[in-house]
Amino acid sequence: MSAYVDAHCHLDLLPDIHTNPFQENTGNIKSLTVTNAPYLFEPNQRLFADCEHIRVGLGFHPEVLGDPRLLSQLNPQLELFDAQFSGARYIGEVGLDGSSVWKEAWPVQMTVLKHIVKQCEREGNKILTVHSRQAVVEVLTLLASKRMIAQNNRVILHWFSGSARELELAIAAGVYFSVNHQMLRSAKGKQLVSMMPPNRVLTETDAPFTFDATITTREQSLVNTVSQLALIWHMTHEETRSLLWSSFKQLLTNN
């Protein structure tokens, strides 16, 4: 039977995870847990070192760049990112956020993402999970460049929320999309997913940020998302789960 895929989650933010990391190490779910800043990568690597079903991403989330404490450490954090880069197959969460609340951080967001892109162009063979809220065109301009593609990097746009036109651009760029149950609760989200090539779609939970009174675990989230995708694609639950698993394996083997 195919495993469920959680291509984007924040396991280090779950309650009690630091005393029991194995609670999320289930063979029923293959997980990519992301980090929000370079200094968090090594502790997460240690935390999940014996968890065979969990992989850790090296991240630099655009939203943390609005924190003056981290900004004061920007250069050391970029140096730490570079030092850890070769040992990280997965890069995330990275990207840009163009929403008004993070407007003042936009210049430094661009600086950081351009820095990350240069590293990917230099070394390659990375899988990136990317934040692109209100910044799809700018993200694609950097991450879908010929040099990025030539170096066999793969991009997953996490929780895509752009326009139909921006989705067309993303599809043409050959990226993957990871979707969650919260995205599929809105008419816009369902419409966007219906336009995505099914073999370019992955599931995510973005846990714990998507949890609520009805969805309290990652498995509940993934089962719900797969069921909704099955309705959109006119497939059975197991057919949908199998397709998602095949797409995830294809993503991995292309690198």
Separation of first and last alpha carbons in the chain: 24
| pLDDT for the residue numbered 254 | 75
Q: What is the pLDDT of residues 137-194, one digit of tens each?
A: 999 999 988 899 989 999 999 999 999 999 999 999 999 999 999 999 999 999 999 9
Tell me, what CATH number does 27's domain have? Answer: 3.20.20.140
Distance, in Å, from the CA atom of 178 to the CA atom of 41, rounded to the nearest integer, reads 21
Pairing mode of beta strands 127-131, 90-95: parallel
What is the per-residue pLDDT for 51?
97
d(CA 6, CA 181): 12
Distance of alpha carbon 86 from alpha carbon 14, whole angstroms: 27
Note the pLDDT of residue 173: 96
Structural domain count of the chain: 1
Phi then psi for residue 172, to 5 deg, are: -65, -30
- Sole residue written with tokens 């992301």: 34
Q: Where are the beta strands (DSSP E) in 96-236?
A: 127-131, 154-158, 176-179, 201-203
Chain-centroid distance of CA 192 in Å reads 17
pLDDT at 255: 52
Could you give the CA distance from residue 205 to residue 158 in angstroms, rounded to a whole number? 10
Q: pTM of the predicted model, to two decimals? A: 0.96
pLDDT, the chain, mean:
96
Q: Would you say the C-alpha torsion 112, 114, 115, 116 has a positive or negative sign?
A: positive
| 116: containing domain | 4-253
Which residue has 């199998």 as its token pair? 242
Q: How far apart are CA 91 and CA 154, in angstroms?
A: 10
Question: What are the structure tokens assigned to 196, written together?
Answer: 């995505």
Q: Which residues of the chain have pLDDT under 50?
A: none
User: What are the respective helix, strand and coil percentages of the chain, to the nearest 5?
Assistant: 50, 15, 35
Interatomic CA distance for residues 88 and 56, integer angstroms: 8
Report how far residue 124's alpha carbon sits from residue 121's, in angstroms, rounded to the nearest whole number. 6
